[in-house]
Amino acid sequence: MGSIIMDLSDSNTTRKVRFLDWGNIPYSQAWERQTEIQQGLISLKRANRDLTEQERKEAIHSLIFCSHPHVYTLGKSGSEDNLLLAESEREKHQVEYFKINRGGDITYHGPGQIVGYPIFDLDYFFTDVHKYVRMIEEAIIRLLASYGIEAGREEGFTGVWLSPKDGKSKRKICAIGVHLSRWVTLHGFALNVNTNLDFFDHIIPCGIQDPDKEVTSMSKELGRDLDMEEVKSKLKQIIADLFEFKYIED
């Protein structure tokens, strides 16, 4: 991926990020809206290309939090064999299904999750996809630590994992799948907070067929439901601290 404008990661440019909470929104609607935001950033980048530094307009990045009604999404590198429900069964369970353009395999989104869509022009941060994914993982790891949940990474896999203890398997608590165009990010992460994990039984999550790996949630690990607004508030600030920006009023 080529950079259109200069890498601003070492400059004094202020990163302007707006925070948007879309609540519980149908997946197709959220996909369309985040794509519009991404394309707006790309269009601005193209327009700035032919302008002087003084004439260039500043980019407004977005961090979006939401949840979705029950839905399975399959990444471009995934296999449909990992969806274990036929269309008639999906209708019975009232769960939608979309093939999308992020990386990764199949996952589930539903109520009780925090789905995060950072729409960032990485030319203003750093042009390194792997670092970007690692920083999202780090934000989740720090959030979980604030609740007394020890989490980390699993070699060879993206996302955030809990290590085995008390006879438990390795448990994935947050899935990550991203797509970039002209260094502008799309899609993001899904953190299981108060999620109904039964819906993961109808897929092979992330295409991982290892019996020693499971899916979990914050509520399952802590034995209680959590205040979603409190979790979102903490995570929102952790992301700002890691990516070194302050939120602006939209």
Angstrom CA distances, 38 to 43, 185, 218, 225, stand at 9, 7, 30, 34
Instruction: Check residue 11 and give its pLDDT.
Output: 40
- Please indicate whether residue 206 is annotated as part of the active site: yes
Pairing of strands 60-67, 113-119: antiparallel
Where are the domains positioned within the chain?
16-248
Instruction: Check residue 212 and give its pLDDT.
Output: 74
Ranges under pLDDT 70 in the chain: 1-13, 166-167, 205-211, 250
Give the model confidence (pLDDT) of 21-70 as tens digits.
999 999 999 999 999 999 999 999 999 988 888 788 889 999 999 999 99
- Which CATH number among 3.40.50.1370, 3.30.930.10, 3.30.9.10, 3.40.640.10 corresponds to the domain 16-248? 3.30.930.10
Q: Which residue out of 119, 176, 206, 238 is catalytically annotated?
A: 206
Angstrom CA distances, 8 to 4, 14, 121, stand at 12, 10, 10
Pairing of strands 71-74, 16-24: unpaired
Instruction: Check residue 87 and give its pLDDT.
Output: 82
Instruction: Check residue 167 and give its pLDDT.
Output: 62
Instruction: Check residue 7 and give its pLDDT.
Output: 37
Instruction: Check residue 17 and give its pLDDT.
Output: 97
Rounded to 10 degrees, the C-alpha dihedral 90/193/216/225 comes to -110
Instruction: Check residue 207 and give its pLDDT.
Output: 67
Instruction: Check residue 249 and give its pLDDT.
Output: 80
CA nearest neighbour of 66 among 91, 107, 16, 31: 31
Q: Give the global pTM.
A: 0.90
For residues 208 and 212, give the distance between their C-alpha atoms in angstroms, rounded to a whole number. 10
